[in-house]
């Protein structure tokens, strides 16, 4: 089970140093073992030159394309979150029942977005549609509410456009054929790099460093393709601030914290997923103060006692920040 988790983490580009070191050591040892037992060095150099040229051109082109895609997605996500905050503030002119309902749906939609990977942005569409239905169903009774209602409708239209563009961009991930071609060129290049030094210790060291560098670049490409590059400053920190501005505790998956992708501070909602992705109906939410934990040491495992529903009985709405663990379906004893 542990080996499977490590392999899955490596395939997502989360173990950059480990992959680079292992690749460098393997290529360096292979170079020493091969020694002078090789063919015509001129042929090896020619093959290495062609492989390096093809690999470099394809890698550079792909990195540029994936960076542009990532920047577009981050920009659209930021605009969508800004629209959600505007709705949260504008709804204040309506009655308490409408205000509470819409704000609860905004919190639910944000948490749904976090529950799924950014490449699966479409999975949060149901909560988005419920939010739009609640906004469009508002009945303005005063002149001020009529003016605000028009703004809310326009924000809903803009959010629909942002979501369509995000879903289109996230669907443009690299195809298996592209990955196969790059990996094939990488293996060929690593093999030629291991052969060229002729068994000298210095040549083996250089070959190992080159191999580690190439693997690092491929890992960077993998993280760009999964939309995880610079996610701390472009996704997690802005979302944490957004939750706090709306009066809620930030919502962060425990796996994100444990993997070192983001280290939130203060009081937050930590979510655990006991079932494999994308099953999120059994998630467990617990409120933790990470500042207190850093002073006292690791916190004990969440208790399974005294769990209360995260939703109001008979409704599908989030009821704001919570202080207990619960099932999303209202039954006790589940995980986030």
DSSP readout, 207-218?
A: HHHHHHHHHHHH
Range of the domain at 24: 20-232
pLDDT of residue 44: 83
What backbone phi and psi angles, to 5 degrees, belong to 141? -110, -20
By C-alpha distance, which of 316, 320, 9, 332 is closest to 134?
Answer: 316
Among 279, 278, 277, 298, CA closest to 288 = 298
Q: Are residues 314 and 263 in the same domain?
A: yes
Q: How high is the mean pLDDT of the chain? A: 84
Residue after which a domain boundary falls, among 232, 259, 277: 232
Judge whether 297 and 313 are in contact, CB under 8 Å. Answer: no
**Within this chain, do residues 289 and 260 fall inside the same structural domain, yes or no?**
yes
Same domain, 206 and 79: yes
Q: What percent of the chain has pLDDT over 70?
A: 82
Query: Does a structural domain hold residue 151?
Result: yes
Let me know whether 288 and 228 are in one domain: no
Residue 235: strand, helix, or coil: helix
| Stretch 50-63: mean pLDDT | 94
Q: Same structural domain for residues 223 and 256? A: no
Q: Which residue has the higher pLDDT, 142 or 332?
A: 142
Quick one: 85 and 172 in the same domain? Answer: yes
| Higher pLDDT pick, 9 / 156 | 156
pLDDT band at 314 (very low <50, low <70, confident <90, very high): very low
Q: Is residue 142 part of a domain?
A: yes
pLDDT of residue 19: 85
Q: Does residue 167 form part of some domain?
A: yes
Domain contains 155: yes
Place 187 in a pLDDT band, splitting at 50, 70 and 90. very high
With bands split at pLDDT 50, 70 and 90, how would you rate the model's confidence at 89? very high
Both 203 and 326 in one domain: the answer is no
> What mean pLDDT is predicted for residues 11-39?
81
Pair 253, 197 in one domain: no
Selection from 320, 310, 324, 319 nearest residue 247 by Cα: 320
- Give domain status of residue 13, yes or no: no
Nearest to 84 by CA among 41, 123, 148, 132: 132
169 shares its domain with 29: yes
Q: Write down the pTM of the prediction.
A: 0.76
Q: What is d(CA 24, CA 19) in angstroms, rounded to the nearest whole number?
A: 8
Pair 227, 271 in one domain: no
Q: How confident is the model at residue 12 (pLDDT cuts 50, 70, 90)?
A: low
Total of domains in the chain: 2
Q: Which residue has the higher pLDDT, 316 or 270?
A: 270
Q: What is the per-residue pLDDT for 9?
A: 59
């Amino acid at each position: 089970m542990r080996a499977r988790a490590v392999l899955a983490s490596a395939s997502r580009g989360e173990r950059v140093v480990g992959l680079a070191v292992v690749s460098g050591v393997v290529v360096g040892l292979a170079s020493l073992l091969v020694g002078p037992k090789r063919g015509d060095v001129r042929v090896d150099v020619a093959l290495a030159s062609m492989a390096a040229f093809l690999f470099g051109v394809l890698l550079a082109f792909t990195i540029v394309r994936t960076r542009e895609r990532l920047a577009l997605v981050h920009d659209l996500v930021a605009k969508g979150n800004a629209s959600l905050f505007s709705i949260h503030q504008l709804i204040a002119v309506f009655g308490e029942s409408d205000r509470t309902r819409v704000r609860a749906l905004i919190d639910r939609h944000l948490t749904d977005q976090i529950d799924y990977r950014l490449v699966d942005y479409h999975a949060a569409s149901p909560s988005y549609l419920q939010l739009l239905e609640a906004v469009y169903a508002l009945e303005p009774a005063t002149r001020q509410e009529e003016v605000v209602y028009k703004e809310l409708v326009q924000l809903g239209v803009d959010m629909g456009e942002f979501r369509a563009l995000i879903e289109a961009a996230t669907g443009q991930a690299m195809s298996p054929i592209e990955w196969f071609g790059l990996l094939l060129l990488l293996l060929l290049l690593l093999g030629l790099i291991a052969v060229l030094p002729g068994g000298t210790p210095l040549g083996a060291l250089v070959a190992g460093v080159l191999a580690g560098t190439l693997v690092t670049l491929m890992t960077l490409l993998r993280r760009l393709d999964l939309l995880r590059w610079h996610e701390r400053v472009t996704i997690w920190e802005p979302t944490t601030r957004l939750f706090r501005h709306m009066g809620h505790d930030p919502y962060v998956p425990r796996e994100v914290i444990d993997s070192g992708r983001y280290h939130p501070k203060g009081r937050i909602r930590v979510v655990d997923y006991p079932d494999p992705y994308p099953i999120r109906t059994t998630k467990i939410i617990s409120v933790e103060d990470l500042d207190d934990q850093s002073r006292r040491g690791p916190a004990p495992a969440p208790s399974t006692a005294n769990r209360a529903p995260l939703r109001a009985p008979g409704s599908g709405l989030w009821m704001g920040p919570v202080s207990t663990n619960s099932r999303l379906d209202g039954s006790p004893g589940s995980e986030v």
